[in-house]
Amino acid sequence: MTTTANLLIELLTEELPPKALRVLGQRFADLITASLRAQGLVAEGAAATPIATPRRLGVHLTDVAARGADTTQRHKLMPVAVGLGPDGAPTPALQKKLAALGLPADAPLTRAQDGKAEALFTTATVPGTLLAAGVQQALGEALAGLPIPKVMTYQLADGWRSVRFVRPAHRLTALHGDAVVPCTALGLAADRVTQGHRFEATAAPITLRSADSYLDQMQGEGATIPVFATRRAEIARQLDAAADREGLTLMADEALLDEVTALVERPHVLAAGFEADFLSVPQECLILTMKANQKYFPLLGAQGRLANRFLLVSNVQPADASAIVQGNERVVRPRLADARFFFDQDRKQTLAARAEGLAKVVYHGKLGSQAERSVRVAAIAHAIVGQLRMATLPYTAEAKDEFDVLDAKVREAAQLAKADLLTDMVGEFPELQGVMGGYYARHEGLRDGVAIAIEDHYKPRFAGDALPRNHTGTVLALADKIETLVGLFGIGQQPSGDKDPYALRRHALGVIRMLVEKNLPLDLPALVAESARAFGDALPDPATSNARLLAFIFERVAGYLREQGYSAQEVDAVLAVRPPWGQMPRRLAAVRAFAALPEAAPLAAANKRVANILKKADATPGVVDAARLVEPAEQALAAALAAVGPVADARFDAHDDTGALQALAALKEPVDRFFEHVMVNAEDPALRANRLALLAQLHAAMNRVADLARLAT
């Protein structure tokens, strides 16, 4: 019987990159587990626990066999005529083949038909993999497959050899039950010794009794929580408890929680504060200072406003933590003072005055300066307002005034939107571009909506981010993103594979979200063409690059809609008819409801058949002549269309797409009878043309909401 026990592998290193630690730990565990499973050493139901702290990567794996199960392997040797002589004895060729496979000369042979000839086969037993060999292979595969952000080359202790890894490694532990697994990695031989917390471990080094004693020994003797997920949950628990004690709300930040978890081995959450007069600085500046530079967790008070208290996560647990709190308060104070100084200095110059300096700021070597870009964005925004104006025709004098005001606001915001790039605050914190422009615009008393538009014109900045809050901001954000896409596609800088240095996929998704979620009646191809003209002669072949860009955006549309939970078939059916942007979600919901009907599948198949017939027609179908409907089945279909068509059209016109599609269910029976009893391609040309006209009428009625043929399997 094969012996099984739990396995521990741990690689002790110098401090690992915190932003990559969670991924490194999970990937290391996954690769070790997958390799051992592929070698038959781990059952499918085994549990793998990733281990990752600032100074270690590892995995604890249950039910690992000391040796894999033996397997049998069938070998095809050669044709019988070649392998056996006239007397049935093995030929030298057969004996040579068996020897090459490491099989005895008297290995049992079987005959089986192989194509037209009969061939010789033999079956050999392959011994299972020994655990030591399996772990050695798994370690090699894991270390080679880690997504290391930047590799280091360092010298081993012997002074002669060097290895490459994310950080220098100092110890390798490998235990199967209570036995050491003999293996090596990065110039280290495995043993049962490891290290705990640098300062608070009660034993140094720690001699592990077994793989299963690891967690208890590390948390006891080592004063370390080695499992990333456990340590993260403990920090989150302590943060919530500390925020409750302060009577404030924790500002959630999953990425910061991951990073802090990667910086400590024994977390201890403490509360600290700063002077309340710093709260006169925009809270975004203070929050970013605390989170990015100090890894603090800000606390919020009433109405979600920043409080002058914050939480920090210490890596030690002294009896008196006051020195740690006071030290962190001393450290954060100069940071906050810098932010206040930048804010005060920036407000001494207007955005309009700063905008003049954008001519000296290069946007892209082939696309000019930020000042030139601002002119293009203003022109594109003007074109967007023009399309929106035309989409509302005819409109009243009040509506005309509203569009004129919108146009003026957008032009003003476009001129000033990039000016905050030249401020000290954005120079220190690039993440605040746009946000600071909004603050400075409000300080200057700019017209209502312009400040919000300047602040929002980068939105959405990431997946799930909020969209711009007002019309001016929406138009400006669209113009800004379209300018970026058209310009960079125009000079051949489109994304390639997983490389997207200008975040054009994110820009495209932002355009899609605004068009769909804000239900904007815009003609995107026309807008892209107009945008390309704003670049003058800077784009070598705008027609080609625009076509690539539009294909790129529509690919993203399909992905965006699928992320809403719709199937590829449903999305394909709706996009095939290119509906207005804002109607896409409504039509998808209607298609899903229709697909659930029992009539949906046969109607979709019939629709596909109709489309194929019409595609092969010699001429464009004309109008149905009722006098030429001679077969009862075609008469019944025409009557059903006359009854159902107006109902479906009325519901479609009332924006009831679900009702429009469900009304079509009544066509199933007459459509089935039509194809069962009527020959469409009749010999009589007039009869054939009339039947094609009837099918064209059917096709038009069925495909107003979506191309139902795309639902056919």
The answer to whether residue 182 is domain-embedded is yes
What CATH number corresponds to the domain at position 51? Answer: 3.30.70
Does residue 592 lie within any of the structural domains?
Answer: no
The residue among 165, 197, 220 that closes a domain is 220
CATH at residue 611: 1.10.730.10
Is residue 523 assigned to a domain?
Answer: yes
Q: Do 205 and 274 sit in the same domain of this protein? A: no
- Domain C-terminal end among 220, 253, 280: 220
Q: Are residues 173 and 263 in the same domain?
A: no
Residue 2: per-residue pLDDT: 58
Question: Are 314 and 453 in the same domain?
Answer: no
**What are 314's strand-pairing partners?**
268
Q: Which of 321, 346, 371 is the last residue of a domain?
A: 346
Residue 623 falls within a domain, yes or no? yes
Structural domain contains residue 458? yes
Closest CA to 15 of 46, 57, 43, 71: 57
- The dihedral of CA 394, 399, 405, 411: what is its sign? negative
Residues 386-425 pLDDT 10s:
999 888 777 677 777 888 889 999 999 999 999 999 999 9
Residues whose CB is less than 8 angstroms from the CB of residue 114 and which lie 6 or more positions away in sequence, other chains included = 76, 79
Helix-then-strand count for the chain, H and E: 26, 20
What is the C-alpha to C-alpha distance for residues 541 and 490, in angstroms, rounded to an integer? 7
Residues 340 and 489 in one domain: no
Beta partners for residue 322, in sequence order:
none
Distance CA 131, CA 540 (A): 62
At 112 the pLDDT is 86
Report residue 130 as tokens: 């020994």
pLDDT (0 to 100) of residue 395: 67
Torsion of CA 588, 589, 590, 594, to 10 degrees: 100
Q: State the burial class of residue 29 (Cβ atoms within 10 Å of its Cβ: 0-12, 13-18, 19+).
A: buried
Distance CA 507, CA 459 (A): 9
* Contact present, 479 and 380 (Cβ < 8 Å): yes
Examine residue 250 and state whether it is found in any structural domain, yes or no.
yes
Concatenated DSSP letters of 395-417? --HHHHHHHHHHHHHHHHHHHHT
State whether 400 and 511 are in the same domain.
Answer: yes
Q: State residue 111's pLDDT score.
A: 85
Cα torsion at 608, 609, 615, 616 (round to 10°)? 160
The pTM (predicted TM-score) of the whole model is 0.79
Are 157 and 208 within one domain? Answer: yes
Question: In this predicted structure, what is the pLDDT of residue 121?
Answer: 87
For residue 584, is it within any domain? no
Hey, what amino acid is at 392? T
Q: How many domains are contained in the chain?
A: 5
Q: Name the residue range of residue 8's domain.
A: 4-68+130-220
The answer to whether residues 258 and 181 belong to one domain is: no
Beta bridge partners, 32, equal: none
Side-chain half-sphere of 239: how many Cα atoms within 13 Å?
A: 26
Q: Are residues 214 and 232 in the same domain?
A: no
Q: Which residue numbers in the chain have pLDDT < 70? A: 1-2, 395
Cα 325 to Cα 249, 258, 317, 320, 576: the distances in Å are 20, 22, 12, 10, 61
Check whether residue 328 and residue 373 sit in a common domain.
no
269 forms bridges with which residues in the sheet? 313
pLDDT per residue over 269-290, tens digit each? 999 999 999 999 999 999 999 9
CA 646 to chain centre: 44
- Do 57 and 33 sit in the same domain of this protein? yes
Position 569 in a domain: no
Residues 368 and 322 in one domain: no
Residues 136, 32, single domain; the answer is yes
Q: Cα–Cα distance between 447 and 96 in angstroms, integer? A: 92
In three-state secondary structure terms, 701 is helix
